[in-house]
Amino acid sequence: MNTEKVETTEFECPICKSVAFDELSLRCLGCRSVERQRLLYLVITSRMKIDKGANILLIGKKEDIIEKAIRKNGCENLMVMDIDCSIKQIEDKYNTINDSLGKLEECSFDLIIHSHIIQKVAIDLNSFIKHSFRLLKPDGLHIFTAPAREMHAELEKSETINEDQCLKLFGHRDHVRIIGLNDMESKLKAQFNNKSCLIEPYHEIDREKLRLSGISNKTWFSGNGGRPKVFCAKKHNKLRKIYSTGSVNADKYTLKRINMNTYNYFGREIIQHMNALDKIKRDNPWPDISDVKQAPFVLALGLGQDAGRHLIINKIREADIKLMIEIGVFLGGSTIQWLESKNNLQVIGIDPWSDSWGGYIYNMIGCHNMSTHVNQFSIEELKSIVKSLDRHGNYKIALNNLLRYKERFIPIRQYSPRSLVYLKKHGIEPQLIYIDAFKRKIDLEVAYALFPNSVLCGDDWQWKDANGEFGMQKIVKVFASKYNFEIEAERQTWILHRR
């Protein structure tokens, strides 16, 4: 019996133009494409024109949906490297792909693509990426999807591996590795010398186009758990010469290695000795939020004396805190309190800001414990907030709420603790770290290991887990005992003092 439910009006497949979709899986009933394939196709077509002159290498199964889409666009120079992803063939094909790529002529392709392949084939990823770089023409692109996770992970391969072991180790019978998001991007950046190789779909493609293409908003943000990720690495053209203020000729990729204080780069002066915080601001700019019409708002979530936030505000003032990190910004309510407490304070806010919290906020209305957080709004005001969150996403709405403090708030759209490592690597030394995230001890441990002189504090002191236990209290108490701290806590807020 056919259990698929067809919706013929809301979506249109960008590959085959069908408007028939399975409501539950969002599979197109025309070409049978799934979300990741349509997303890959949109990214490819946004980055380059596919025509009969394009030279393209597709690594995957023959008669793949992407292959059909490329041929439909008129490409006459498409090479398909057919891959058997059967787990039974894992040992036989370990070196087959890289050997086959090694036989191809360098600088042959404008585009190399594959979709959800590398987690199923036991290849050496570093060699695979080097081959793709060698095979691409200058300005060529390597674009692919993979179910990367927010972790570091390496290939776990055994000569005796079987399907049951794969299911246990990797979550799927036909997978031979877990792909680490950090690891994969690092490998690509090391070879291609790109600033970033991870695509944020909502930056690349209009949100409404994503939605109408049957791509759920859970797939729009790279920080979203095990959702499919799109990577794009570009092989830069021949290094272009530019002229410094002296007589030294250099290219823009090696400028930083020249021992000079300033350069004239295409008529603009570059200051080499930029401080660490300025570099972080430069590398994490605010997005354009001019299309957000929602008035800034603050939820009554964790505000005032009832939440004990005065402990943090007093510390900021007494210790003359000028730079703090907030892990878990949500929609900016607590952040505004910190920024208003001291006019020379700068806050680095860490949060993935994925999905939309619209439904979560609207559901507060009927929740006994949560309704007090939204009582200051009318139903119409709440509907407007929810609609804005669903339309623009958490990131833009949070920054819209913080717009008055744009010069003093730096958004880092990453998960913790990865983001803490990133900030340490770039020379940031916060005086205070406020933790309001996933109630995990790793955030506290890593924060202390990287920034031992920072004041450590946070939220959720009275939060109870599913077993009715005070989960955050337990984590903080164990940590304080281990490292000889005293705990000061009031309501939801806690702060650690050195003995």
What per-residue confidence (pLDDT) applies to 161? Answer: 62
Residues 313-336: pLDDT tens digits?
999 999 999 999 999 998 898 999
Question: Helix, strand or coil for residue 15?
Answer: coil
Q: From the CB of residue 307, how many other CB atoms can be counted at a distance below 10 Å? A: 21
Measured between alpha carbons, how far is 235 from 138 in angstroms, rounded to an integer? 6
Identical fold for domains 36-234 and 283-498, yes or no, is yes
The torsion of the CA quartet 157, 127, 45, 224, rounded to 10 degrees, works out to 40
* Residue 215: partners with Cβ closer than 8 Å, 6 or more residues away: 26, 35, 38, 39, 42, 201
Q: Which of 164-173, 213-222, 275-284, 286-295 has the lowest mean pLDDT?
A: 213-222
The answer to whether residues 173 and 166 touch, using CB atoms and an 8 Å cutoff, is: yes
Q: From the CB of residue 175, how many other CB atoms can be counted at a distance below 10 Å? A: 20
Question: Which sequence spans correspond to the domains of the chain?
Answer: 36-234, 241-273, 283-498
> In percent, how much of the chain has pLDDT > 90?
30
Residues 127-162: pLDDT tens digits?
889 999 999 999 899 998 888 765 555 555 555 567
User: Which range, 58-62, 278-282, 355-359, 409-413, is most confident?
Assistant: 409-413
Burial class (CB in 10 A: 0-12, 13-18, 19+), 289: middle
**What average pLDDT does the chain have?**
79
Q: What is the pTM of this model?
A: 0.49
The answer to whether residues 276 and 427 touch, using CB atoms and an 8 Å cutoff, is: yes
Q: Which of 289-298, 305-314, 431-440 has the lowest mean pLDDT?
A: 305-314
pLDDT band at 378 (very low <50, low <70, confident <90, very high): confident
What per-residue confidence (pLDDT) applies to 156? Answer: 53
Q: In Å, how far are 67, 113, 125, 487 from 37, measured between CA atoms? A: 11, 11, 22, 51
The torsion of the CA quartet 410, 440, 486, 312, rounded to 10 degrees, works out to 30
Measured between alpha carbons, how far is 315 from 338 in angstroms, rounded to an integer? 10
| 15: pLDDT strictly greater than 80 | yes
pLDDT band at 9 (very low <50, low <70, confident <90, very high): low
CATH number of the 36-234 domain: 3.40.50
What per-residue confidence (pLDDT) applies to 196? Answer: 78
Residues in a beta bridge with 455:
432
pLDDT band at 345 (very low <50, low <70, confident <90, very high): very high
Calculate mean pLDDT across residues 21-42.
88
The answer to whether residues 140 and 133 touch, using CB atoms and an 8 Å cutoff, is: no
| 252: pLDDT strictly greater than 50 | no
E strands present in 254-320 = 262-265, 268-271
The answer to whether residues 402 and 335 touch, using CB atoms and an 8 Å cutoff, is: yes
**Cα three-residue angle 110-112-115, rounded to 5 degrees:** 150
What per-residue confidence (pLDDT) applies to 151? Answer: 55
pLDDT band at 275 (very low <50, low <70, confident <90, very high): confident
What per-residue confidence (pLDDT) applies to 183? Answer: 80
| 400: pLDDT strictly greater than 90 | yes
> In percent, how much of the chain has pLDDT > 70?
79
Q: Which of 96-105, 274-283, 405-414, 447-456 has the lowest mean pLDDT?
A: 96-105
The residue that leads in pLDDT, 23 or 429, is 429
Question: Helix, strand or coil for residue 139?
Answer: strand
Tell me which amino acid residue 33 is: S
Q: Which of 80-84, 250-254, 398-402, 435-439 has the lowest mean pLDDT?
A: 250-254
Calculate mean pLDDT across residues 291-304.
75
CATH superfamily for 283-498 is: Vaccinia Virus protein VP39 (3.40.50.150)
Rg (CA), the chain: 25
Calculate mean pLDDT across residues 371-394.
81
| 245: pLDDT strictly greater than 50 | no
Q: Which runs of consecutive H residues, i.e. helices, occur in 253-357?
A: 276-283, 310-318, 333-341
Question: Helix, strand or coil for residue 457?
Answer: strand
* Residue 91: partners with Cβ closer than 8 Å, 6 or more residues away: 122, 159
Token duo for residue 429: 């030394």
pLDDT band at 431 (very low <50, low <70, confident <90, very high): very high
